[in-house]
Every structure is written in C-alpha cells, then in structure tokens.
Chains A and B, each alone.
Chain A
Amino acid sequence: MNTSATIEDKIQSFGRDVFVAIGEERPSTFNKNFWTGKIMEWSMSQPEFKVNMFRLVDVLPSLRSSAAIATHVNEYLSAAAANIHGLVEWGVNLKPDSFRAMLTSALVKKSVEQMAAQFIAGNDPHDALKQLKRLRKTGLAFTADLLGEFSVSEKEARHYVQRYLDALKVFGAEIPSWPEAKPLINGHPGEQTPVCISVKLSALYSQCHYMNFERSVTVLSERLGEIAAEAQRVRALIYVDAEDSANNPIIYETFKRVFSSAQFKDFPYPGIVVQAYAKASAQVLDDMLAFARKRGNPIAVRLVKGAYWDHETILSKQYNWPSPLFSKKESSDAQYELLSRTLIDAGDCVLPAFGSHNVRSLAHACCYAAERGRDASRFELQMLYGMAEPIARAFSSRGFLVRLYVPLGQMLPGMGYLVRRLLENTSNESFLRHTFFDAQQVEELLRAPKMLD
C-alpha cells in the first residue's frame, strides 16, 4: 500500500469519527421544529416555493408598512399556500388593510428576523458582544464581518470605514478583559488576540472598479490602512475577504500593498482568501505565498471553495465569456484538497485557515497536516456562524481551532447575506443539505473528489 492510500484511509476513519461525534444533532437551520427549518424543508422539496420565499425574504426589510408586507406575502406565496398548510399562519390571502393582516405582518417580519438572527449575531458591535462571548465560552474563535449595503457614494463608503473603526474600538475595549479571552490553543498564532475582523474591501470605495484599477488600489490601501492602524492599536487580526473575479485583482493588489508597507510589514498574520473554485486559484495561492516570503513575516490564508459561483457563471454565459470558475462542484472540492496540501507544505510563511463545512475537505486537511507533522497550533478551521454548529463542535472537541465567521449589521443590508446563506443551504450541491436533510450515506459524503473540469 502506498503512502497516499494510507492517508486516504486516515481521512476515511477521521471522517467517520466526525460523523459519529455529530450523531443525531442537527444545525438549527435544519431543525424542523423551528420556522427556519420548516422553510428550508419546503424550499428543498418545492423549488418554486423556494424562489418566491427567498424573494419575499429579500424584499421584506425594505417594506415600510404592514399593508405592504401583507400585499407582498400574498403576491409571493398565495400560489404556494395551496400546498403548504403552515403558510396560513402568515396570513396569505388576507385583505392587506385588514386588522388580521396587520397582526400577521408583524408575525412574518418577526419570523424572518428570527431566521436572520441565526446567521447574524447582532445589529451592531455592542449588540453582538453577547453572542461572541458565548462562542468563546464554547471554545470557538470568531472573525466579525460588518454587513454593508453596496456603497454607491463616497459618503456611504466612508461611513462603512467608520463602522469598522468603531467596531474595533468596541471590541478592543471589551473583549480582551473577558475571562473567555484567553487563548483556546496556546501558541496558536490566530489566538494571540481574541479579536479578529473580516473586511469586505470593495465597499470601502464607491468607485472601486476594474476600469479604475490604479485609483481603486490607492484609495482602498489608504482606507484598509486606517482600519489596520486601529486594529494594530487594539490588537486585532484582520482578514480581507475575497469577492468576485472582477474585484479580486484589486483586492489582492491592495492587500499586498498595505501589508508590505513600512507601517504594516510587521502586522501579525494579515489574512487573505483564496477561492478554490477559481481556475486560477493555484497561481493566486502561489503568488500569495511568494508575497509572504518576500514580506518576511507570515500571513494567514483562508482557503474556501468560493461563494460567487452562480453569479459569475450566469454572467459568463450572458457575456459569452469563458467562466473563470470550474464548472463542476466536485472540481472545486478536488482543487481544494490540492491547495490544502500546498498550504500545509508551505511551511511557516503562512497560517492556513481551512474555511469549509465539508467534513471530507476538512478531514483531508487535518489528516494531511498530521502526516506532515503539523499540530493543531499551526492551522485553523473556519466556518460560517449559524450554519453548521454540530460540525464546528465536532472539530473543536477534537482539539482543532475553529473560528466562526460572524456577520453583524442591520436587517436591510443583512438580507442579501441571509438570502445567500439560505440558497447555499438549500442548493442541490450543498454538503450540509446532503448531510442533514438528504441523509446521504457517510461513504458518499467522504468520497475523495476528482477534478472533472
């Protein structure tokens, strides 16, 4: 038996153990006793309901009156109400200006707010502290993301920068003094401080655009610099999120410019994201590793599959452009494993952060790290808040550092995020759906992925 077969055996046995640890536990998203779980169940069994439901969720926070809510509930759901008994509670087919419609509108809004609260930790940094504390208490680290609307103007972009600065101030003043602030794993570079934020760069500059490349990088470097300076002051870590292929070159260039500057050359483990679904992901990772070596101080790389697949694939089709992304989900999974190895093999210039809910992908990373003699203080796992608690706990209880990506913000800007998460969870390709809803066989869930593109 050759070495790689041995690793594969380890991955299988590791993966089975994780599934045993998860047991019958379900993430709240898939728990049918709650509204969200019911809605997810209906969405997965009735595609038409799914489209209408998610469009309703999307529009809801911008509706200003209960009559408007009642009208939209009718328009979106009256057809579905014939098949789905539970929808009656939502007042489908009531007269929009009736008293009952008013009452049920409040109920609808509350239900969606509850749904959002599963994925969004609070309206603002203060509001989120309670949840963040709870996470740390249960042995999970976090990185906080501020949900924002698209910045159409500089006024909005500057406001967004300010929100990051304010969040850092609040976190810096509160969190380090918690008893829960002490490192979850001693000596782990990601635990040198409990405070960590993730920044959506393109929203920091209203004219961020590939046609305005140079200026975009210049302006974003200034603004990311402001945030990094505040992070330095309060001792916080930063991840710069990846976005779509149009913005990513600007994001990568800005990241490199800021964290190689004299001021931030020593900034500890600045984080960047590599998306395995991109055909160019191996080059992107190589480029980032080369940057880290040149910088002389390590960086963190969050490896993800990528969250803009539908958006980019649709646009490529509309424009007749070759898609920059792999066409098959399984190819991204295979690429993810390839890049996981590159990351682990890259040595100490990088802190690998494996962002995924896929037990197979994570088991692979953990087993390969063990194979290469890298213990749990040399990498971490990252997952989304509210998506896969049982999986997070299963890994965390096995001694790995699990960091949750925790969005916070108001309902209105949060809705886009919520709808994306709901779509992700209910997609036919979703690992979580396969695991917790379709009850796929463990063997199938743990099968080694192949590059199909």
Chain B
Amino acid sequence: MFKNESFIDFTIAENRARFAAMLLDVQKAIDAKTLEASPMVDGKKCGSGGTIPSLDPSNFDVTLGLVRLASDREAESALESTRSGATAWGNTDFERRAELCKKVGENLRRDRLFLAGLIVREAGKNWREADKDVCEAIDFCDFYAEEMLRLGPVKLTEDVPGEQNSTFYKPRGVCVVIAPWNFPLAIACGMTMAALVAGNAVILKPAEQTSLVADRLARAILDAGIPGNAFAFLPGLGEVIGRMLVLDPRVDMICFTGSKTVGLEIIRSAATVKSGQRSIKRVVAELGGKNGLIVDEDADLDEAVKSIIESAFGYSGQKCSACSRVIVVGDAYEPLLQRLCDATSDIIIGKAADCATFVGPLIDEEAQKRVKSVIAEGEKHSQLAFKGKAPEHGYFVPPTIFRDVDTDSPLWREEIFGPVIACRKATDFNEALALANDSEYALTGGVCSRSPRNIELAKRSFLVGNLYINRSITGALVCRQPFGGFRMSGVGSKAGGHDYLLQFMEPRTVSENTMRRGFAPEA
C-alpha cells in the first residue's frame, strides 16, 4: 500500500512551536534579501529578462524576494538544451530515473518546514494548508517513481510459438510544464516529476506569483542529479514566455493546470502544426470547476456546515476543488443557511502566518479586484445572505454567501476562485442532483446525506471526477484519491492515479518472428 507523507501533527504544542520558529527563519531570509528565483538553463543560473518582486499577499508592502525573469533568448536556449538532452535522459534506465525522482522527494522532505513557511508567505496559505502542499509534492515524487518501476519493464504481450511480441513505453520528448500558483509546490512538482520520471526533458514555467517556491523545487530537482539538459526552469510572464513555449515546434507535450480560458487557448494553439514539428502536441490540462455540495434533507447539519466551510473557504476558495455551490434539499434549507451564515461570521480571517488563521488573503491584487467585482455584481442581481469583514492591507476578500441564486446567473455558472458560495434550494434529492450536474464543469462534488439510497444514487449519477460523501470536498490525497475531472474541467487522466504516467509516454510494440528455417526457440 502506498504510504502518504504524514502531515505535521499540529495538535502537539512542540510542533506548533517548531513551525513558528521556522517562520522566523523565513522572515530572516526575507529581511536579509536572500530569497530569489532565477531561471536555470543547462544547469546554469541566468535571468536577463528583468526582475519582478514577489509580494506577500497578506501584506503587500512586504517584498519577499526578487524574481529574475527569463529572456526570450534564454527561453530559446532552454528549448535547444532540452531538445538535445531529451534523448540521453529518455535512454537512461527507468530504474535510475525512478531513483532520482525519489531523491527529489528526499530533498523536499529534508527542507519541508522551510518550504511550508515559504508557501505561507508567498502563496498566503495557512499553516496546515501549506504543510499539506509540501506533503503532496513529496507524495508525487514517491508515487510516480513507484509507478515508473511498475510500468518500466518490457511486457511480453502474447505467447505464440515462433513469434515474440513485446510492448514498452518511450517518452514523448520535450514537455513544457505550466504550473499554477494555488499549489505552488505540489502541482508544479507533480506535473514536472511525472514528465521527468517517464523520460521526458522538462521546461518548467512556474506561476509568477509563486516563483520563489518554484525556485526551491528547481533546486531540489537539479540537486538530486537530474541532468541540466533534461530540466530547465524558466520563471517569466505567462503571456510572454508561456506563449512562446507553447507555440514552439520543438515541444512534444504541454502539461498545464490553470484556468479554462488559458487551457482552451493552449489546446487550440497546440493543434497548429508548424514546420519542423515532429509530433502532434499532446496536451494534459487540469482546468476549473464549479463544484456543488448537496445537503440532503436528513443530513447531519453540524457536519454539513463544517464540510461546507472547509471546502468553500479553505485557502479562500482558491482550489480547483473548492465548493462554490450549495444545494439544499427541502426543509433543511433555512436551518442550514442560518447556521452556515452564523458560522461564517465567526471564522478567523487574517494573515496567513498567524497560527490561528483559517481564511487568508487571495493571491494578488488582480484576484482581489476580480472577486470583489463578482461579489458587487452578485449583490445587484442575487440575494446576499451573508458578507463578512476582511482586513485591509492584504489581498483579502470577505467570505460571502448568496441565497436563492438564479441558475442562469454568473454566480451559479462561472468559476469564481474566491470565498464565495451560491446557495439554492431543491425540492428533492433528484432535483438537487440535476442542479449539481447542470454545469459545464465536472471536477468535484459532495453529498451530505444519511439516506443509503440517496448516497447510492449520488455515486451513480453525480457526474464529477471526484465525489466526496459526508466530508469536505477538497484535499485529495495522492494514490488514495486520484484527482481530476472531465467536461470543461480538463483533458487527461487523474493526477496521483495509476493512469497518469501513461500520458507522458508512447507505447511501442515490437513483433519478432523467431522462427528460422522452421525452428524456433522454445517460449
């Protein structure tokens, strides 16, 4: 059985003290201006494309460190370098690649407290969420290494006298990884390590908001001994560097996690074949969700309220898996809504670095403006049930709940990626399921119910990639809950699942006639 990396047990006072001490270390590094991110091409540091500051979303007056951006020329070198490095890396024994992949995990594990601290500051995650981010990154390294060991050996497919058939996998070539900021370590690491362990050379373009964290990942990868021409790190602006990488004919595969708009654009441009291009670009894209949680009439409301708050407001709703629609069956609607609003008014909002914080800031000014305007628009067209208060001087947005939301409204249909819930009543469980399924997305969903029949019904017909029953709908664990959806929620199979690595490889089959002059070796 796969063993997930254990979260820090924060119920133990010493563990909280250790984390607090480490946050002071991070602060010292910030004060000493030693935190930075730089492109790494061919194993060498560079970055002549200018610099941008990385700001603390909990207090935008604080610059955490400088991010040196890759220039176009450096991106070009990265493409050349990985193109040439891909062959040797792909020919490296899969056992060796798996070993190096595990070593990356080891490096992250050794540094796990500091990494979590950096995530607290740069991504604005609270302590527990930051720790889970690091654990998930380590899990990806361990899990994909084990997967490669499982998939690596050549398989003899049929046993017929005089004929030997074997199937095995080859890497695709150069894979561009475009990572999001919301799991700055875990998702960047998962996509990168899956591509690498499968034998591809990788160019990682991190999210500009969380480049400092990604820089640590890049170092962990190179320190493990993965060749500099098999892995390039290119911090830069998505519209510039990202676009250039996606369009380049030397790229065989693009692995992306982010918004639906950008994802569809990548898929469209990947379909355009340029001269000199060797393969049809394969795109794996994890996109958004508009995830619903159904509260059945017979649900345990204590548990339902807890699950909704955890799912909708954890990391301020900035998870693809976050709950943004709540559908309540029948007479449970009013009491649930009342308790949910009351409970929301008391949750602790503050700086991510404060131990007690449950809801931190949004990632940046743009996100804050966007979500605030979604709320303002919502207040015009829908009925506000609750709106909290948020601190100033960081990118905070108050947790907000709308009720009786119209099914045509943007609040009901569009991904918000902030601490906003749209609620609606359904007359019965079937109607609730229909409402939940009526979405262009199909990522996560949840049901709080104590009816065995309705739970069975949901398992069959609540059409989402990850369905959660009587619990929160976020926090999928590698291997235990392979993660990913369908419809507009993305293409490609589940991260942290047994099919994931296959997407990074091409199966090849060899059939050899072993009969010569009427004789064949015995099988």
Chain A contacts to B: CB under 8 angstroms:
55, 58-59, 62-64, 68, 71-72, 75-76, 149-150, 152-156, 206-207, 209-215, 245-246, 249, 319-321
Nearest-Cβ distance from residue B449 to partner chain A, whole angstroms: 9
Given contacts A58-B300, A71-B451, A206-B346, 7 further A-B contacts (CB under 8 A): A58-B450, A72-B298, A75-B452, A150-B302, A152-B306, A154-B342, A319-B7
Nearest-Cβ distance from residue B270 to partner chain A, whole angstroms: 40
Nearest-Cβ distance from residue B491 to partner chain A, whole angstroms: 32
| CB-defined contacts of A246 to chain B, threshold 8 Å | 11
Nearest-Cβ distance from residue B135 to partner chain A, whole angstroms: 10
CA distance A211 to B128 in the complex (A): 9
Instruction: Give the 3 A-B CB pairs with smallest separation, nearest first.
Output: A153-B342, A152-B343, A212-B356
What is the predominant secondary structure among interface residues of chain A facing chain B? helix
**Is B339 touching A152 in the complex (CB atoms < 8 A)?**
yes
**Is A153 touching B298 in the complex (CB atoms < 8 A)?**
no
Give the number of A-B contacts (CB < 8 Å).
Answer: 87
| CB-defined contacts of B343 to chain A, threshold 8 Å | 152-153, 206
Residue B6 contacts which of A55, A68, A249, A319 (CB distance < 8 angstroms)?
A319
Nearest-Cβ distance from residue B429 to partner chain A, whole angstroms: 11
- Kindly state whether residue B271 has any CB partner on chain A within 8 Å: no
Nearest-Cβ distance from residue B326 to partner chain A, whole angstroms: 15
**Is B355 touching A212 in the complex (CB atoms < 8 A)?**
yes
Interface hub of B11, B343, B452 (most chain A Cβ within 10 A): B11
- Kindly state whether residue B10 has any CB partner on chain A within 8 Å: yes
- Kindly state whether residue B3 has any CB partner on chain A within 8 Å: yes
Nearest-Cβ distance from residue B466 to partner chain A, whole angstroms: 17
- Supply 8 A–B pairs (Cβ within 8 Å), ascending by A: A68-B298, A150-B302, A156-B342, A206-B343, A207-B347, A211-B126, A321-B6, A321-B9
Chain B contacts to A: CB under 8 angstroms:
3-4, 6-7, 9-11, 13, 16, 126-128, 297-302, 305-306, 309, 330-331, 339, 342-343, 345-348, 355-356, 358, 450-453
**Is B6 touching A152 in the complex (CB atoms < 8 A)?**
no
CA distance A358 to B445 in the complex (A): 46
Residue B342 contacts which of A68, A75, A152, A319 (CB distance < 8 angstroms)?
A152
Select from chain B the residue with minimum beta-carbon distance to A59: B450
Select from chain B the residue with minimum beta-carbon distance to A321: B9
| CB-defined contacts of A71 to chain B, threshold 8 Å | 451, 453
| CB-defined contacts of B7 to chain A, threshold 8 Å | 319
**Is A245 touching B347 in the complex (CB atoms < 8 A)?**
no
| CB-defined contacts of A64 to chain B, threshold 8 Å | 297, 330-331
Nearest-Cβ distance from residue B201 to partner chain A, whole angstroms: 34
**Is B356 touching A215 in the complex (CB atoms < 8 A)?**
yes
Nearest-Cβ distance from residue A317 to partner chain B, whole angstroms: 11
**Is A153 touching B346 in the complex (CB atoms < 8 A)?**
yes
Nearest-Cβ distance from residue B351 to partner chain A, whole angstroms: 13
| CB-defined contacts of B11 to chain A, threshold 8 Å | 210, 245-246, 249
Select from chain B the residue with minimum beta-carbon distance to A76: B452
CA distance A63 to B331 in the complex (A): 10
Residue B356 contacts which of A55, A58, A149, A211 (CB distance < 8 angstroms)?
A211
